[in-house]
Amino acid sequence: MVLAAAVQLVAIPGDVEANLAACERLADEAGAAGAKIIALPEFFPSGIGFLEAIAEAVLPPDGPATELLIRLAARHGALVGGSFLCRDPDGEVRNAYLLADPTGVVGRHDKDLPTMWENAFYIGGHDDGVLAAGDLRVGAAVCWELMRTQTARRLRGRVDVVMTGSGWWSIPGWPPRAVFDRLERRNAATAEKAAAQFGCYVGAPVVHAGHAGDLECPMPWLPVAYRGYLEGATLIAAADGTVLARRHRSEGEGVVLAEIEPGATEPTRAVPSTFWLHSRGWLASAVWHYQRWHGRRWYRRHR
């Protein structure tokens, strides 16, 4: 058994210095408790939202986010992972999940498809997300990768633990309020279900870090602002989907800890033949497409 930790962060959008300091403090809390696997969220140096400040928080592959992962791994003798907006030598930006152990960076996974307004900030990757840390095989998956069957297929039976993080935002309370409130309840349930059940399709425990806190930003191509929050859904789950520890978004920043048993097991759920593991709902489906079209144009103009 290994003690694992997942960090729940309340990020300041675009404030890399403050966010890295918060991550270091929370990861140190996990390390002091004895955690040997520590997951930071997606976009841990920058936060997420459709904001210019996010595009300005892009970091190089060997920059301060990578240095923090290496420093934490060495300090606590642990595996430490998280993703950030990374500008590579080819000039493109990718959502890079880096994994470090006490020897340094041991692997990288680039998120395959940007989600909604994320298209404005980076392009997708093509690797399989199986990272080797000594004898341990780590499956890296980021946010809505937990929603897709192609992620489950590339990791299924091939990893001993899944390390992941999300920046999953809520559905705003627009009128008619009853309709949007109902959509948001389903959205929140999906955020937790996607993380908790992913191990059932892969056959390995899941350590899932998340963002909490309020979020306000423009809505691409719409004359209204987005006002909502990050869903959190920070949890650690066994390979059979049993949630061992969780932290609700309302609890704010903090760390969840649980002992897990790394190792590939027989998956308890078959991967469906569809593209999505879980239904997105009609609103998320529509926003997925229109913000992808907008974001790709925005990225080309601003990158």
Question: pLDDT per residue over 244-277, tens digit each?
Answer: 999 999 999 999 999 999 999 999 999 999 999 9
- Categorize the per-residue pLDDT at 108 as very low, low, confident or very high, splitting at 50, 70 and 90: very high
Domain that holds residue 269: 2-302
Q: What is the pLDDT of residues 44-88, one digit of tens each?
A: 999 999 999 999 999 999 999 999 999 999 999 999 999 999 999
Distances (CA, A) of 139 to 164, 180, 205: 8, 34, 10
Contacts of 151 (CB under 8 A, 6+ apart): 112, 129, 141, 145
pLDDT score of 290: 95
* Domain count across the chain: 1
164-178 pLDDT, tens digit each: 999 999 999 999 999
User: Taking the model in full, what pTM does it have?
Assistant: 0.97
CATH of the domain at 72: 3.60.110.10
- Closest by alpha carbon to 231, among 282, 196, 260? 196
CB 81 within 8 A of CB 41: no
Is pLDDT at 303 greater than 90 in this prediction? Answer: no
CA distance 145 to 118: 13
